[in-house]
Each structure stands twice: as C-alpha cells, then as structure tokens.
Chain A
C-alpha cells in the first residue's frame, strides 16, 4: 500500500519539478502547486497509513482508545494547505501583474531586474 503511494508521490513530484524547470510562468506556478500537494501527501504517508478508527474519544472515556488514527499529520497538512494556498494565490497575482506590465509570461522576457544597474551597461561612463 505504502509503495503505491510512494510511486504516486514520486510521479507527482517529478511532474512538479519538470514544470518548475519550464520557461513559462504559468507552468512554473502549476509546478509549485503540484510539488506542494505532493509534499502534503508525503506527510500523510510518513505519519503512517492504516485502516483504523477515527481519533474521537468515546463518551465515558478519558483518553483515546487504542488503535485509532494519528490526528497530528492531518492537522499539519491542513496548516500546510492553508499556507500553500495563500502563497500560490499571491504568486498567481504576481504573475498576472507581471504579465500586464511586461507583456509576457516567458521568463526569458523578464530581464528588467537584471538590467537594473547591470555591469554591462554600455551607456554608463566608465572611470570618467
């Protein structure tokens, strides 16, 4: 069972890294989404995957019964999903704004930061 999950996560991460290496801004974004969801799955599997009872304390008992699921990985994933969603939406907004002001989502056209104060600027006088 774990092996199936391991291969699925590996495949998803591979796709994520492949997209991340692209020159197209949107593909990079989708690559990040794939990687972060694959990481959530990784936490899920690392926390232990078993068919067990839900982690709810039965009426009359003080503690969890034996053989119940571990609730912590799910709490971690929930936090990670929320944070990941916020950051990905910001990145998407950033990409949209860049597309509107530069006119391209290809990173090969994003040269403004590199041109700012470039050492190869021919306009600038050298040791006047």
Chain B
C-alpha cells in the first residue's frame, strides 16, 4: 500500500477534486450532501498534496508518464519542490474556503452549482501546477477558465454578468495568445514536453519565431497574472463575485499565471538573453506602482484588495526580473506568503460584511468595539501584507528587495519600498474606517460573525504568524526550490530517467 501511494502520489491532488466534483454534481438536489462531500474532498486533497510534498522532499523531482508513453511523446506530469509547495498551499486555501463556505454560501448559490464548480476550479489549478507539457498547461488553463466563469456569475446579478463579460473576453484573448505561442514554439522545436523543450531550445538557433513566441507567452501569462498594462480586467470583475469566490480567485488565479510565467521563463527561455529582462522589470515596476495607486482612491474593501493583488504581483515579478537564485527564492517565498495573506484579507472582508452589512468603508464602522477579535484577526494579514516585521510579509519583501539591491537593480528596490509605504496607507484606511470610527448609521446593526468564518481566518492568520516568527525553514525550502528552478538539468534528468527504467530502446 505505501508503495502504491508512493507511485501514484502525483495523481491524487488531481483525482480527488475531480471525483468530488462528480459526486457534488450527482448530488445536485441535496445541498447538505454536497457540503459534506466537498469538505471531505478538500481534506483528502490536502492530505494527498502533503503526501506529494513529502515524496518530493525525500526523493527529489517526481514524474509520471501517462499511458506508459515514454517522454517526450506522452504527456508528463512533473512535481518539483516549487509546484508541490504550490499544490499544498492552494489545498490549504481551498480547505479554508470550504469551511468559510459553511457560513457564507446561500442555498441559491448551491443550487447554481457552487460546489461542483469550486472543485472543478481546484482540478484546473492543481493540473496547471503539476503538468510537464506546455499544451497540457493550456488545457488546464481552459478548465480553470470555464470553472471560474461559472463561479463569478453565481448570483446572476447585473453587476456579476457585466464583470463576467470583461473577465471572459480578456481571459479568452489571453488563452488565444497562449495557444499562438505554443503553435510557434512547436513549429520551431517540434516538441511540446517542457523537459524536452528545455533540452532542445538551448541548441536551437535564435529566430524571429522564437522571440515572438517568448513575447506571446509573456503577454498571455501577463494578462492571467495581472501585469501592469494588462490588468484592467481584474479590478473590473473580482469585486462583483460573492466574497468566498473572490477570496479563492485572489489567492489562486493570478498566482497560476505567475507560476506559468516562472516555469516558462526559467525552463524554456532565459530572462537574461533576448532583452526580456528590461521588459519584465518595467512590467514589475508598473504593476507595483499602479496597483497601489489604484487602491488608494477606492472605498469598497473588495476593490481596495483587488488592486492590492496587482501591486503584490509586481513584487513577485521583481524576483523574475532579477533572476538570481536569491531573487527566485524570494519570489517563491513571496508567492506562498501572498496566497495565504491575500485570501485571508478577503475572508476578513466577508466577515466585515456579515457584521456591518456593507463592503463600503464609508458606511461601515464601529467594529473595534463590537468585534475586537475580528479586529485582531484583520491586523495580522493587513500588517503582513504591508510588510511590517515580524510578520511573513516582512521576510518576503526583505528577500526580494535585498536581491534587487544585490542584483544591480537598486531603482526597482527603492520603488518597492515606496510601494510598501502606500500599502500601509491602504491598510490603515480599512482599519480606521471599518474598525476605529463610530458607525455613521444611526441604527448600528452589528451582527455576530459566525464561528465557521472566524476559524479559517484564524487558521490562515496562524500560518502567517508561524512563517513570520520562524521563517528559517521556509527560507531554506525556497532556496532549494529556486536552485532547482534555475538549473533545468535536474528537471530534464528526472523526466527522462523514466525511459531507462521502463527499458525502452533509446
């Protein structure tokens, strides 16, 4: 049995959500059963992803060839430290969202298919993290896209339909660009397996098609991740969805785009050659700055947080722009910290809405007196996002900015520090308006926040505190993960090792 689990560790984070989605869809008429099945599925997915992380930690990169087709002909699944960590952290977030859903998802939303779509989204996200085939990555992106479109229009209000159109059109455009990039890349190299591409591309002569392909990849993932000139769909749609959907989107979707960007621009293309570095640096700087400027004017909590997603993506891209192992480690650390903190802030926004009945900071207030526990729970992710020591955000920002000063890009490090200051401004705005000031409305209807909302907020807060007070294990992990990413040789060896074991003729 342990051997079997070890052999198939790579498949369970995908198979369990897929099965859960099917069970939830079969139990369409029974909301209670769907809730139970969804929670059970999420717990099992987390267990499976921890198992995967454990086997990656003990045996290095884990690979699986589907249908027994030797690479590069079949579809490979690959888990290195980075992707295993992403699967674990997204499973943690999904479980937190599943618990939050007990208190937040209404019967009408369950009837609209919340649980099957949510599990479907997890299938897409985990698939995108684990696949080792560039065309297969496109397929997982589309699985994710169709699930998110269902989730964003859960209530079918006018605002949601409007937001969904903007979301759909720009994301469809992005996947079309992605497909074009794949087509051109295939035309030049004749292969789609990422490990094979990493082997073939350094020996391929540079051509226009390759450059165009690299730029198309950057643009496609840039739209997905929300880079500076391409992020407008994000703040136009995220705030319309129901809060739990916004939280999951904020935690996971843009990060899948960032993950794909890191994969393609470490394994396939080099940031150092072909003039990609100045473009990425420019994107990163613009993303940080304009995200935080956009947030400064907003009064709706969800809109403030949506703009902050963009701003934080800039910090992660900064790691890719510098592209030293130190910066990569900083980026890996930053992604893990950011998924936890950002989703947590959206959960807090949901709790604020439950307590005061509004997301609008101008109408909210008085929460400091009525729910002091929520105030403390808000402070942890908010200060962490702003990078106040000793919380996790401080170490994440420290690693990235330190790398930028060492990596001869001091201007962008200085910009990152300035953006951190403006982040403090936005977070203190939420603090002052929602918690500190007295409620502007005459009849203060402060409702109690249910335990099922507080538990995930507290749990994610504890993770933030744990990373903050004891960053050493995660820093060490990020360093090893970055070392694997910057040296594709290990990745290639892991994928092609299967062939010799299978005894196929070379």
Q: Are A112 and B158 in contact (CB under 8 A)?
A: yes
Residues of A within 8 A of B145 (CB): 87
Q: Are B362 and A102 in contact (CB under 8 A)?
A: no
Q: Are B149 and A117 in contact (CB under 8 A)?
A: no
Number of A-B contacts (CB under 8 A): 139
Count A-side interface residues using an 8 Å CB cutoff.
Answer: 47
A87 to B160, CA, bound (A): 18
B142 at the interface (CB under 8 A from A): yes
Q: Are B158 and A117 in contact (CB under 8 A)?
A: no
Residues of A within 8 A of B365 (CB): 128
B163 at the interface (CB under 8 A from A): yes
User: Interface with A: B38-46, B118-126, B274-282, B298-306, which one?
Assistant: B298-306
B104 at the interface (CB under 8 A from A): no
- Beta-carbon contacts of B140-153 to A below 8 Å, as 1s and 0s? 00100110010001
Residues of A within 8 A of B161 (CB): 94, 97-98, 101-102, 112
Count B-side interface residues using an 8 Å CB cutoff.
Answer: 51
Q: Are A112 and B169 in contact (CB under 8 A)?
A: no
- Beta-carbon contacts of B76-116 to A below 8 Å, as 1s and 0s? 00000000000000000000000000000000000000000
Nearest 10 pairs of A and B residues by beta carbon: A117-B300, A46-B187, A128-B440, A43-B183, A113-B163, A113-B162, A112-B158, A124-B362, A112-B159, A98-B161
User: Interface with A: B171-179, B327-335, B372-380, which one?
Assistant: B171-179
- Beta-carbon contacts of A13-36 to B below 8 Å, as 1s and 0s? 000000010000100100010011
B166 at the interface (CB under 8 A from A): yes
Q: Are B159 and A94 in contact (CB under 8 A)?
A: no
Per DSSP, chain B at the interface is: helix
**Residue of B163, B173, B239, B302 with most partner-chain A CB within 10 A:** B173
A91 to B184, CA, bound (A): 27
A126 to B143, CA, bound (A): 43
Residues of B with Cβ closer than 8 Å to A?
135, 138-139, 142, 145-146, 149, 153, 156-166, 168-169, 172-173, 175-176, 179-180, 182-184, 186-187, 192, 209, 236-237, 239-240, 297-300, 302-303, 359-360, 362-363, 365, 437, 440
Give chain A nearest CB distance to B491 CB in angstroms. 22
Q: Are B158 and A101 in contact (CB under 8 A)?
A: yes
List 17 A–B pairs whose Cβ atoms lie within 8 Å, in order of A's numbering: A20-B169, A35-B176, A39-B179, A42-B180, A72-B192, A87-B146, A87-B168, A94-B153, A94-B165, A97-B153, A101-B156, A110-B165, A111-B162, A113-B237, A114-B162, A115-B159, A117-B302
Residues of A within 8 A of B362 (CB): 121, 124-128
Q: Are B168 and A91 in contact (CB under 8 A)?
A: yes
Give chain B nearest CB distance to A1 CB in angstroms. 15
Q: Are A86 and B146 in contact (CB under 8 A)?
A: yes
Residues of A within 8 A of B163 (CB): 113
Q: Are A43 and B179 in contact (CB under 8 A)?
A: yes
